[in-house]
Amino acid sequence: MVLNKPLFLLLHILAARQVTNPNPPQWDYRDTTRWNADYPTCGGRQQSPINLDHYTSIGSLKPALKFRNYAQPFARQLTLVNNGHTADITLPETVRGPRPTISGGLLDGVYEAQSLHFHWGAPGNPRGSEHTVNGYRYDVELHIVHKNMKYGNAEEAMQRPDGLAVLAIMINIVDFPNTYYPGLNRVFNSLPYVRVADTNTTIPSQLSLNHFLGDVDTRNFYAYQGSLTTPPCSEAVTWHVFPRPLLISRELVNQQTYFNNPKRSINFNVLPPFCRLKSSSN
């Protein structure tokens, strides 16, 4: 994997102090603008997702992203879970022992891979990425979630501005793709087995995180400080968003129509209107 100078976007946004409901209700995607009524941080000033504008971004000399153990197979088969909102996979250790990690880019420290999940559209509204680039919305967005290794658990990390790091891989649907991605193919082929919320299935293959990263151009990305895109919307995430999409087959992605959740027709958050980007160079 060759890494070079990334495309870098810095946001400097003041985050307001929030008081959270100790017993917030369940949330869904029917009206994301109302999340902040029960999760006040969702109305903060450093919320994700955002539109990434090439023309106001800064070509940066920040270090390239470094990937460790991404090519190592996981020590056990992965379990795909319908958590009621999306298809989610908790990532185990690798055959070498440690989980995959990332460093470099906008990150100060080493971040350990924890999980991955997807955001997509719906019939009649197929474009479902959360981030947009120059106003363009992709078909699917894959998030690989990492935790700063200096924090003991995800709950602690979510309370810290440097607690989490997410890689956002964009995916577009085409009729005849030229590349086969083992991780993506096996996940989408498994979706019919988790149609109902709170069900799961084992993916019958030994995979590595590289099988999900595919041939994405890791030399070029947008990076910014933001938040989780779902409640509690913790402003604890360093985002690295790769604008060049992976291409997968339309027939394969049609499997997601089996993913049955009556509480939503889509599973992506809208761009928050209160975020204002401010670019700077280092």
pLDDT one-digit tens code per residue, 117-131: 999 877 666 688 999
Split at pLDDT 50, 70, 90, the class of 47 is: very high
pLDDT at 258: 47
Sorted by sequence, the CB contacts under 8 Å of residue 185 that are 6+ apart come out as 248, 252
The mean pLDDT value for 35-62 works out to 81
pLDDT at 277: 36
**DSSP letters of 127-177?**
---SSEETTEEPSEEEEEEEEETTSSSHHHHTTSTTSEEEEEEEEEEESS-
* Cα separation, 220 vs 204, whole angstroms: 33
Amino acid of residue 100: P
Among the residue ranges 32-36, 239-243, 254-258, the one predicted with the least confidence is 254-258
Going from the C-alpha of 279 to that of each of 6, 7, 8, 128, the distances in angstroms are: 15, 12, 9, 26
pLDDT at 7: 39
Strand order in the sheet with 136-137: 51-52, 132-133, 136-137
Dihedral sign (CA 123, 125, 126, 131): negative
| Nearest alpha carbon to residue 197 among 82, 29, 89, 88 | 82
pLDDT at 37: 78
Task: Name the active-site residue from 85, 117, 131, 240.
Answer: 85
Residue 129: which region, alpha, beta or left (left: phi > 0; alpha: psi -120 to 50)? beta
Which tokens hold the place of 119?
């955001």
Boundaries of every domain in the chain: 7-12+49-258
Among the residue ranges 31-40, 63-72, 100-109, 189-198, the one predicted with the least confidence is 31-40
The model's pTM: 0.84
| Nearest alpha carbon to residue 13 among 44, 35, 42 | 44
Q: Taking 90 as the threshold, does the pLDDT of residue 141 lie above it?
A: yes
Q: Taking 70 as the threshold, does the pLDDT of residue 92 lie above it?
A: yes
The mean pLDDT value for 232-261 works out to 82
Query: Domain 7-12+49-258 is in which class?
Result: alpha beta
Percent of the chain with pLDDT over 70: 77
Max Cα-Cα span within the chain:
50
pLDDT at 66: 97
| Nearest alpha carbon to residue 129 among 263, 242, 10 | 242
Strand, helix or coil for residue 67: strand
Among the residue ranges 59-63, 134-138, 183-187, the one predicted with the least confidence is 59-63
Percent of the chain with pLDDT over 90: 56
Specify whether 85 is catalytic: yes
